[in-house]
Amino acid sequence: MPVTYLKQSTGLPPQENTETSARVQEILTEIRQGKEAAAEGFARQFDGWDGPFVVPQAEVEAAVQKVPQALQDDIRYAHDNIRRFAEAQLDSISEFEMELKPGLVTGQKQIPLRAAGCYVPGGRYSHIASALMTITTARVAGVSHVAACSPPNAETGLPPAILFAMHLAGADRILAMGGVQAVAAMKHGLFGTEPVDILVGPGNQFVAEAKRQLFGEVGIDMFAGPTDCMVLADATADPEIVAWDLVGQAEHGPNSPVWLATDHDPLARAVMAQVHQCIAELPEPNRSSAAEAWATLGEVILCDTREEMAQVADDYGPEHLQVQAEDLDWWKARLRSYGSLFLGEHSTVTFGDKASGPNHVLPTSGAARYTGGLSVHKFLKTVTWQTATPEALPEIAGVSASISRHEGMIGHARSAEMRLEKFC
């Protein structure tokens, strides 16, 4: 039977904003033409920052002294997990060489990108983890030059913890700059950075739109929308834990959807009641953000079976997917559409967002149906090569010429046949 919505979303607002798109295009055009002077002008206007845009090495080193030792230790713990996970990803990728037919030798290589630009969000939250996730992964992949930027506080610049995390992760150049101007600066190689091959990292709608418009000229990690989360829970789940996991993600902002799918009606209703209590415990402005997200975008979906729950998750393609249910091996084998999977009540999205190791830059808005998140793969080009000896020519040249002539591509055919004539 069809699933039942005990609570249903009123729907996300339209993702495309023509005013935002037009404004971003104007800024990108002005910076493309005016270079550093134009970028500086927008940075002074939007960030309100009067200090240097390139963070001096002395300031980076001084930041270490300003970060409490306990927080330094926590950041190092997270960095170690993220680095080791990325190293394991790199080890899983292989180069190879093989002789497909006598004399026809082919192969695959992995070539790191030359330069990467990592955007670290600022504003209401200090995104320490985003600095670690993006910069560390680029470094492990073997990227030669890694630039990082983040919007500064108008009075104090970049928070010491952000600078410490950027430095620890291995940034070559740090810019105290946010928004479209920062993205454009990294793209064009302004302020002593190298022109980048790829732009990565989350940001607001202007940053996301800037990356979208620059895609093609450079690579990007993904088209990012508001963060989202789904919890799959059965009768064994703890309603309070489920509720806090939903609220924890809803506090990202009023446009962050959170969903619960369950086959147990009493649990669903208990969670719905508990969510309001959890939201009430949050400070402002987190409370208002979470309350609005839950009121407009929160969903509670009642299913008949666990297979139905799994199908709901596959249809939604959530960025974060948590399973708080029995038989975790079944869920891990069955589920196939998510950015990152969190199995069991002892695991939570918070771990993945901050410190557990797998990358937290993940596909949103259903994109998990066709792509994964940021990884060392994004900073590598998988390229192929081939060579042939005279031994291979009779077959490979003959077949290639035949197919070319049937396609009407006579130049292709002659290119192949010429080798038969000259070398065979």
Selecting among 188, 252, 320, 360, the annotated active-site residue is 320
Task: Order the strands of the 219-220 sheet from edge to edge.
Answer: 173-176, 145-150, 115-119, 198-200, 219-220
Selecting among 30, 209, 319, 417, the annotated active-site residue is 319
Q: Provide the CB-side half-sphere exposure for 320 (13 A, CA).
A: 28
Q: Examine the residue annotation and report whether 377 is marked as an active-site residue of this protein.
A: no
CB neighbourhood size of 77 (10 A): 12
- Exposure b/e, 171-203, CB count within 10 A at least 16 = b: bbbbbbbbbbbbbbbbbbbbbebbbbbbbbbbb
Q: Examine the residue annotation and report whether 276 is marked as an active-site residue of this protein.
A: no
Report the candidate in 196, 212, 217 with the shortest Cα–Cα distance to residue 379: 196
Report the candidate in 404, 396, 379, 393 with the shortest Cα–Cα distance to residue 136: 379
Residue linked to tokens 């302020």: 191
Dist. CA 25–CA 28, nearest whole Å: 5
Dist. CA 165–CA 72, nearest whole Å: 9
Residues 6+ apart with CB under 8 A from 407: none
Q: What are the DSSP E strand ranges found in 222-306?
A: 229-233, 258-262, 299-302
Preceding omega of 285 cis (within 30 degrees of 0): yes
What dihedral do alpha carbons 247, 252, 256, 258 form, nearest 10°? -20
Q: Tell me if residue 194 falls in helix, strand or coil.
A: coil
Residue 198 Cα distances to 191, 253, 258, 288, angstroms: 17, 27, 30, 35
Dist. CA 11–CA 31, nearest whole Å: 36
CB neighbourhood size of 79 (10 A): 22
Contact between 242 and 271 (Cβ < 8 Å): yes
Catalytic residue IDs: 319-320
